[in-house]
Amino acid sequence: MRSSVLLLFAAGRLVSCACECGYSIADPESKESIVFMDRLETDFTQIDHISQNHDWVRQEFTVSAEDGRGVYGKTFTPINADTCIAKKCSSEFGGSGLNLGVSKIMNDDDDAVPGSEIDTTRLDLHWGSFRAGIKLTATKGTCAAFFWYFNDTQEIDMEFLSREFDDDKGIYPINLVVQSKQSAEAGYDASKTGNYKRVNLTFNPTEAFHEYRFDYTPRQVLFYADSNLMARMEGSDMPSAGGHLILQHWSNGNPLWSGGPPAEDATVTVSYVKAYFNSSDSDHQSSLTHSCLDSSRKGAVCAIPNVTQGNATTGGMFFGDSEVASKDGKAQDNGATYTFGGVMVEGVVVWISGLAFSEVFSYMMDQGRSGAERRGFEDIVLENHTDSKSLFAHVTGRDEEGVVMLLADGKTVHRPKSPSEILQPVGADHAIPVGGPGTHKTVRIPHIFGGRIWFCKDKPLTFLLNPGPAVVEPSVTNPTDPNFDADWGFCEFTFNNDQLYVNVSYVDFVSLPIGLKLENEAGKMTSVPGMPKNGLDEVCAGLRRQGEKDGAGWDKLVVTSKSGANLRALSPNAGAELHPGLLEGYFVPTIDAAWERYANEDIVINTQAEWGDVKGR
């Protein structure tokens, strides 16, 4: 019996699955739950190059000494911000994660100190809980900041001045600031408004990663370090808009703030950022709310775990990880099949939830400080309903720049370079581990045409490169292909600014069954059931029966595994490639009969487009 794989296309939220009603924190005083509907999680230690990530964009702009109230200007350059995965990190660059640098050598042309900044692409982060794992620099003369920003009068800051760190006295201050209209009137000196607190940390922040967090709710902002409450600010001066997150590291020589410039290059490393929030985009927030079918169901609302000093390096649990998203999936789905109109379906089911084609893309907005590129993406959840203990997925396709693949994190875009010879390795890990039966994995799909989502049971697929580059995909007609004996299949898609096309039909072969289920924002459900339970076995049995009946070799279209189980059924064209001459001339009498008939009468073709039925000869 063939088990199932589930592929969920979800615009923001899943249907009837873990956490579909949001993520909760507990109010430290009332202990009541506060729920946020959306999330943005980034594990920087798993991203090879930050330029390939869709959630963040590096900034490039300069602030003059006068405007920045410094001795020197400060310039933010993309080259000073990049990620480094553990196996590729060098001691000169920094640790595993996102490294934000400040250079000791100033720019000669503008007398500015080079620093670094990276911002979220989303600008609709409203009420929420925002967290970052950060290891600070011990080099004196820089300012590191993790903050939320809407404008100069609605801003939440956590800032670290390395000049203030004193190892001998054990003094490691953190500056907590809420900028408001009142602070603007005071020359952006929040200390004159009561919305500024300088708190001494109980640990050395330069020796290890710690989680720094602020919870932004109506009329209140709470600040934490390693889940310990440090400060509370509240009142009418608190922000009320949606904004975006910023990670920043800079110096401009101001003796009252950053100090510096640093005597040597300084690096701050960020291991992760987690944001759980409501959207200030009313349409998007409404879509998220609509996706919550039953908030009382177990697992519908997920409690956000507190991070302590012990797991601040990794950040602990990510809701995007397969083992988390599947926490109640087995109980709900029994790791088995789905029913469409009474037909039991096993295989890959494509779910598209809450999709509005005019609004499926997000923007990397230009804030007047960078030439940020407009890009789109779609979050997809892959769910394993096979009997495989290890299901793997791959995403391939093309965009305007050429060949693209997603790396193993399911988010980072990889653009393979053209090799000088044929059949060369891709040179990157692009096998996305979905997990065992009932598990989920969220991936982020950029704009791709001619895209494919591949699934393989028990092991990753092998892709190779030819000059171009051109991807050498798995083949069902080449017995020497390294994937020939594997149990795999795929669906096809094209995703652009206007539409998402998904094709789950079979052309060359039948293997893992694929179905499609679409729920739009109005709640209308459309489904294509795909092949029913034991469909492959029935197809293979029919081919064998036909082969026995006419001796034409239909049974050769059945490919079996080494154990003798049905692996796939080939189309006649694919079978002829594997077995030259197979079924040659078999359809000639039928074609001749059709030609003879319609030479004398009109044929009606349904174009399935605006032209409707077309009649002619």
The pLDDT of residue 610 is above 90: no
% of the chain beyond a pLDDT of 70: 83
- pLDDT at position 160, please? 98
| Cα 228 to Cα 62: distance, rounded to the nearest angstrom | 36
| Cα 114 to Cα 239: distance, rounded to the nearest angstrom | 30
Q: Please name the helix (run of DSSP H) or strand (run of DSSP E) that holds residue 259, with its range, or none.
A: none
Pick 4-16+319-528's CATH classification: 3.40.1340, 1.10.357, 2.60.110, 3.30.60.
Answer: 2.60.110
- pLDDT at position 66, please? 92
Q: Per-residue pLDDT tens for 256-305?
A: 999 999 999 999 999 999 999 999 988 888 888 877 877 777 888 999 99
- Report the pLDDT averaged over residues 592-607: 90
- pLDDT at position 521, please? 56
Tokens 């050429």 locate to 402
| Cα 501 to Cα 207: distance, rounded to the nearest angstrom | 49
* Least confident segment among 437-441, 527-531, 579-583: 527-531
Burial profile 355-370: b = 16 or more Cβ within 10 angstroms, e = fewer: beeeebbbebeeeeeb
Answer whether 460's CB lies under 8 Å from 395's CB.
no
More confident position, 517 or 551: 551
Q: How far apart are the first and last CA of the chain?
A: 46
Instruction: Tell me the pTM.
Output: 0.56
Q: How many residues does the chain have?
A: 617
Strand spans (E) along 447-551: 448-457, 464-466, 470-472, 488-495, 500-503, 509-510, 514-520, 525-528
The pLDDT of residue 372 is above 90: no
- pLDDT at position 261, please? 96
- The DSSP symbol for 333 reads H
The encoded tokens of residue 512 equal: 């893992």
| Cα 363 to Cα 122: distance, rounded to the nearest angstrom | 7
Domain 39-286 has CATH 2.60.120.200: yes
Answer whether 457's CB lies under 8 Å from 407's CB.
no
Per-residue CA distances from 166 to 228, 319, 444 (Å): 22, 37, 43
Phi and psi torsions of 160, nearest 5°:
-125, 125
* Spatial CA neighbour of 72 closest among 250, 249, 254: 254
- pLDDT at position 609, please? 73
- pLDDT at position 169, please? 96
More confident position, 347 or 447: 447
Q: Per-residue pLDDT tens for 84-111?
A: 875 566 555 567 899 999 999 987 777 8
Domain pair 4-16+319-528 / 39-286, same fold: no
Per-residue CA distances from 528 to 270, 351, 531 (Å): 44, 10, 9
Contacts of 447 by beta carbon, 8 Å cutoff, 6+ apart: 361, 375, 376, 377, 399, 495, 496, 497
* Spatial CA neighbour of 498 closest among 376, 614, 348, 410: 376
Q: Which residues are 113's β-sheet partners?
A: 74
Question: Alpha carbon 510 to chain centroid distance?
Answer: 29
Tokens 């649990």 locate to 317
Averaged pLDDT score across all residues of the chain: 83
Answer whether 448's CB lies under 8 Å from 442's CB.
no
- pLDDT at position 88, please? 64
- pLDDT at position 540, please? 96
- Cβ neighbours of 457 (radius 10 Å): 21
Contacts of 340 by beta carbon, 8 Å cutoff, 6+ apart: 515, 517, 527, 529, 530
Q: Please name the helix (run of DSSP H) or strand (run of DSSP E) that holds residue 82, with its range, or none.
A: strand 81-84
- pLDDT at position 592, please? 94
Q: Where are the domains of the chain?
A: 4-16+319-528, 39-286, 535-586
* Helix boundaries (H) for 494-562: 535-550
- pLDDT at position 616, please? 87
Contacts of 121 by beta carbon, 8 Å cutoff, 6+ apart: 54, 55, 56, 57, 244, 362, 363, 364, 365, 372, 375
